[in-house]
Structure 1
Amino acid sequence: MGELKKVRPSHRTENIAYAIRDIVCVAERRAEQGGDLIYLNIGDPIQFDFRTPPHMIEAAYEAMRAAHTGYSSSLGVPEAVAAIRRKARQKGIEPYEILVTNGASEAIDFALSALVNKGENVLVPSPGYPLYNALLSRLIGEARPYALDEANGWQPDVDHMARQIDERTRAIVLINPNNPTGAVYSEETLRQVIALARAHNLVLLSDEIYDQLILNSKPHISPAALDPELPIITFNGLSKCYLAPGFRIGWAVVSGAPELVEDYTEAMRKMARARLCASHPKQFAIPSALEGDQTHIQEAVSKLRRRRDLTVERLNAIPGISCQRPDGAFYAFPRLEVPVYDKDFAIDLIRETGVVVVHGSGFGTLPRTPHFRMVFLPPEDVLSEAFDRLESFMRRYA
Structure 2
Amino acid sequence: MVMRFSSRVGSTRLNVIAEAERAARAEGVRLETVNDSNPTHHGLAPKEVPGVYTAEPRGPLVAREALAEFLTKRNAEESSQVQEQAQADSVDPQRLYLLSSTSQAYSWIFKLMCDPGDIVLGPKPGYPLIESIGGLECVETLEYQLEFDGSWFIDVGWIERLLDGPQRERVRAIVLINPNNPTGSYVKPEEREALVALCREHGIAIIADEVFFDYSLEPFAGNRRLAGEQGALTFALDGFSKALAAPHAKVGWIQVSGPDDMVDEAQRRLDVIADDYLPFSDIIATRMPELLAAVPGQLRRVQERTRANLKLLHTMLDEDEAGLVSVLRPEGGWNVLLRFPSMIDENDLVLRLIHDSRLTGQPGYFFDMAGNGYLAVSLLPEPDVFRRNINAVLKAVSALMAA
Q: State the TM-score bracket (shorter-chain normalisation).
A: 0.7 to 0.9
Q: 1:315 and 1:65, CA in 2 relative to 1: closer, same or farther beyond 3 A?
A: farther
- Equivalent of 1:118 in 103, 116, 119: 116
The one-letter code matched in structure 2 to 1:368 is: G
Matches within 5 A, 1:127-138: 127-138=125-136
The one-letter code matched in structure 2 to 1:174 is: L
Query: What corresponds to 1:30 in structure 2?
Result: none
Q: 1:331 and 1:385, CA in 2 relative to 1: closer, same or farther beyond 3 A?
A: same
- Equivalent of 1:385 in 388, 396, 400: 388
Query: What corresponds to 1:197 in structure 2?
Result: 199
The answer to whether the Cα contact below 8 Å between 1:80 and 1:284 also exists between their aligned partners in 2 is yes
Superposition RMSD in Å: 2.6
Matches within 5 A, 1:332-343: 332-343=336-347
Larger radius of gyration: 2
Q: Any stretches of 5+ residues in structure 2 without a counterpart?
A: 1-46, 76-86
| 2: CA distance, partners of 1:148 / 1:312 | 24
The answer to whether the Cα contact below 8 Å between 1:74 and 1:276 also exists between their aligned partners in 2 is yes
The answer to whether the Cα contact below 8 Å between 1:124 and 1:143 also exists between their aligned partners in 2 is yes
Q: Please give the TM-score of this superposition, normalised by the length of structure 1.
A: 0.76
The answer to whether the Cα contact below 8 Å between 2:98 and 2:253 also exists between their aligned partners in 1 is yes
Query: What corresponds to 1:350 in structure 2?
Result: 354
What secondary structure sits across from 1:209 in the alignment? coil
The answer to whether the Cα contact below 8 Å between 1:124 and 1:132 also exists between their aligned partners in 2 is yes
Q: 1:345 and 1:392, CA in 2 relative to 1: closer, same or farther beyond 3 A?
A: closer
| 1: CA distance, partners of 2:388 / 2:134 | 38
- Equivalent of 1:77 in 60, 63, 68: 60
- Equivalent of 2:275 in 273, 276, 281: 273
Q: Any stretches of 5+ residues in structure 1 without a counterpart?
A: 1-63
| 2: CA distance, partners of 1:337 / 1:301 | 30
Query: What corresponds to 1:222 in structure 2?
Result: 225
Query: What corresponds to 2:260 in structure 1?
Result: 258
| 1: CA distance, partners of 2:381 / 2:276 | 40
The answer to whether the Cα contact below 8 Å between 2:232 and 2:259 also exists between their aligned partners in 1 is yes
Per-residue Cα deviation, 1:260-313 (whole angstroms, up to 9, x for no partner): 133332332222222222233223333333355722322321221111222244
Q: 1:327 and 1:65, CA in 2 relative to 1: closer, same or farther beyond 3 A?
A: farther
Q: How far did residue 207 of structure 1 move?
A: 0.3
| 2: CA distance, partners of 1:162 / 1:347 | 41
The answer to whether the Cα contact below 8 Å between 1:342 and 1:371 also exists between their aligned partners in 2 is yes
The one-letter code matched in structure 1 to 2:307 is: R
The answer to whether the Cα contact below 8 Å between 2:352 and 2:396 also exists between their aligned partners in 1 is no
| 2: CA distance, partners of 1:244 / 1:342 | 30
What secondary structure sits across from 1:149 in the alignment? strand
The answer to whether the Cα contact below 8 Å between 2:243 and 2:295 also exists between their aligned partners in 1 is no
The one-letter code matched in structure 1 to 2:328 is: Q
Are residue 322 (structure 1) and residue 305 (structure 2) matched? no
The one-letter code matched in structure 2 to 1:233 is: F
Q: How far did residue 219 of structure 1 move?
A: 6.8
Q: 1:152 and 1:393, CA in 2 relative to 1: closer, same or farther beyond 3 A?
A: closer
Query: What corresponds to 1:361 in structure 2?
Result: 365
- Equivalent of 1:175 in 177, 186, 189: 177
Query: What corresponds to 2:104 in structure 1?
Result: 106
Matches within 5 A, 1:135-174: 135-165=133-163, 166-167=167-168, 168-174=170-176
| 2: CA distance, partners of 1:258 / 1:324 | 40
- Equivalent of 2:291 in 289, 296, 311: 289
The one-letter code matched in structure 2 to 1:377 is: L
| 2: CA distance, partners of 1:344 / 1:70 | 55
| 2: CA distance, partners of 1:161 / 1:253 | 25
The one-letter code matched in structure 2 to 1:198 is: R
Q: How far did residue 213 of structure 1 move?
A: 1.6
- Equivalent of 2:374 in 367, 371, 374: 371
Sequence identity percentage: 23
The one-letter code matched in structure 1 to 2:217 is: L
The one-letter code matched in structure 1 to 2:193 is: R
The one-letter code matched in structure 2 to 1:136 is: G
Matches within 5 A, 1:199-214: 199-214=201-216
What secondary structure sits across from 1:334 in the alignment? strand
- Equivalent of 2:69 in 86, 93, 98: 86
The one-letter code matched in structure 1 to 2:398 is: R
| 2: CA distance, partners of 1:69 / 1:209 | 32
What secondary structure sits across from 1:228 in the alignment? coil
Q: How far did residue 174 of structure 1 move?
A: 0.7
Query: What corresponds to 1:25 in structure 2?
Result: none
Query: What corresponds to 1:97 in structure 2?
Result: 95
Query: What corresponds to 2:248 in structure 1?
Result: 246
The answer to whether the Cα contact below 8 Å between 1:126 and 1:146 also exists between their aligned partners in 2 is yes
